[in-house]
Amino acid sequence: MTERYLRFTVGHRVEHWVQVTAFVGLALTGLPQRYDGAWLSLKLIGVLGGVEVVRIIHRVFATILMLAVVYHFAAVGYRKYVLREPRTMVPDLSDLKAAGRSVAHAVGLHPEAPRQGRFTWEEKVEYWALIWGTGIMVLTGFFLWNPIATTAILPGEFIPAARVAHSAEALLAVLAVLVWHVYHVHLFHFNKSIYGGYLTREEMERFHTLELESRERGDYVRPSSQEIRRRARRYLPVAGVVSVILLIGLYLFVVFESTAISTVDPIEDIDAYSPVETTSTTTTTLPGTPTWEGGLNAVFAAKCAGCHGSEAPAGGIDLSTYQGVLAGGNSGPGIVPGDPEGGTVVSKMGGSHPVVFTAQELEAVREWIAAGAPETEGTTPTTTTMPVTLTWAYFAPIFGERCLGCHAGTEPAGGLSLTTYSSAFAGGASGPGLVPGNPAASSIFRVMVNRDHYLAMTSEEIDALRRWILDGAKER
């Protein structure tokens, strides 16, 4: 019968498979959020029930991972203090030499592979990479899960930075497992010890020569039952208290806030619309000098409001109101007073849009914009002097005048404080306030452009806000 050596106990193996389950679950729900525009991501998100369900599942697996970490620390402490097992996972100089020997052997510069102990240098690299990566993921995960608490202590820039670090570390971990772990454990040599717990003598001689020799010399002597009980009486109460503290911390991690940064669906570059079959050539009678209230509102209502109304307007542009036309949507401002070619309305309605203005209507719109786009006869949109390079300094007085009555103090409305750049950046219950390069993901812009706030910005200020965010939402 083949001689076998126990490598992993039942506890080792159960812990491993819990970690595997958590890791796979996190990868399958995390990567689709990183690559949310890929067809496979969209398919998987759809199968799982939508992006919000995916986010909930992701948090469940994250909680399982953190529970496994708490258990791991307690188990390692028991093995090292109570059972007095050697610290075989701690790297030392011999691992550096073994790594160099492995490379030399792989390229044919040395005839033999290095002799290694219970854990090879490859396994130590993987283990400590897992410890490092888990620490990064837990820390950045807390920032993203509890952005308001985070920005009460740290600058708001930590939130987008945490998102980048969390996403990048997740991708690195998945690639490391697929390349490093799969190669060493399944391809180079199929190691079955994590399934049954044992290695054969041949495997021990090949991969863990030093450990085999140590076992045969009897270097490690398990403490007596009496000694184990004595040490356990010391260790278990301390481990229990520490574990309870960690579990309380984990509970607060999960429930501290009722919100987290919202996942924003990808924005298409094209205008989305519901095709409407029409052969109507009806035109609206326009006055000699057109204004919004003098007839152009009827033109936009007839031709545009079906898709670009106030409720979830296509392309993010609401063409049912004067303010919405000025504000524009995802592709830029709807109109630029004084510049008929400066907005998206003229370019879309004079081209291949499914519903277009008649020549008379288009000419009236051009004339209206060239005249300053007045809402009523004798009025034009208010204009202010705007700096060439927009920074927080431009918007701080605007927020101070209109917003700080509610969005300031220790309990700002919606969790959103607009007193500082950092707090505005962090956002509140509706997600991050500012997401550089992405106005649609910035909750401040969404509220203002949707015109559902009782103290809304002017159309020019909204356009400035859009341009500032697209340019990176710089503080200075």
10-residue averages of pLDDT along the chain (476 residues): 88 94 94 84 87 89 94 94 93 94 92 93 93 93 84 84 91 92 90 93 93 92 94 95 94 73 48 44 57 83 80 76 76 76 76 76 85 74 57 83 78 83 84 84 79 65 81 84
Residue 89 phi/psi, 5° resolution? -95, -5
Q: Is residue 475 part of a domain?
A: no
Residue 263: inside a domain, yes or no?
no
Same domain, residue pair 11 and 118: yes
Q: Tell me what pLDDT residue 275 has.
A: 46
**Counted domains in the chain:** 3
Say yes or no: 235 and 319 in one domain. Answer: no
CA gap 60, 468 in Å, rounded: 37
Does residue 234 share a domain with residue 143?
yes
Do 137 and 39 fall into the same domain? yes
Q: What is the pLDDT, as a whole number, of residue 102?
A: 93
Q: Say yes or no: 367 and 403 in one domain.
A: no
Q: Identify whether 264 is part of a domain.
A: no
pLDDT at 388: 58
Query: Is there a domain that residue 387 lies in?
Result: no
Q: Which of 213, 233, 255 is the last residue of a domain?
A: 255
Positive or negative: CA dihedral 396, 398, 401, 407: negative
- Kindly report the CATH number assigned to the domain that includes residue 47: 1.20.950.20
Residue 261 lies in a domain: no
Q: Are residues 454 and 369 in the same domain?
A: no
| Length, in residues, of the chain | 476
User: Does residue 386 belong to any structural domain of this protein?
Assistant: no
Residue 180 domain-assigned (yes or no): yes
Identify whether residues 56 and 205 lie together within a single domain.
yes
Domain C-terminal end among 255, 277, 308: 255
Quote the CA–CA distance of 398 and 462 in Å, as a whole number. 11
Last residue of a domain, one of 343, 359, 381: 381
- The single residue listed with the structure tokens 């496979």 is 40
pLDDT at site 336: 77
Question: Are residues 251 and 284 located together in one domain of the fold?
Answer: no
Q: What is the pLDDT of residue 370?
A: 83
Position 281 scores a pLDDT of 46
**pTM as predicted:** 0.55
| CA-to-CA dists, residue 19 to 13, 80, 353, angstroms | 10, 21, 53
How confident is the model at residue 1, as a pLDDT? 62
* Phi, psi torsion values for 449, nearest 5 degrees: -70, -30
Q: Are residues 365 and 461 in the same domain?
A: no
Residues 201, 319, single domain; the answer is: no
- Residue 351 inside a domain? The answer is yes
Closest to 31 (Cα-Cα) out of 61, 5, 6: 61
Q: Would you put residue 221 in left (φ > 0), alpha (ψ -120 to 50) or beta?
A: beta
Q: Distances in Å between the alpha carbon of 382 and those of 326, 373, 459? A: 11, 11, 9
Residue span of the structural domain in which 229 resides: 4-255
Regarding whether 236 and 150 lie in a shared domain, the answer is yes
Say if residue 284 is in the same domain as residue 433. Answer: no
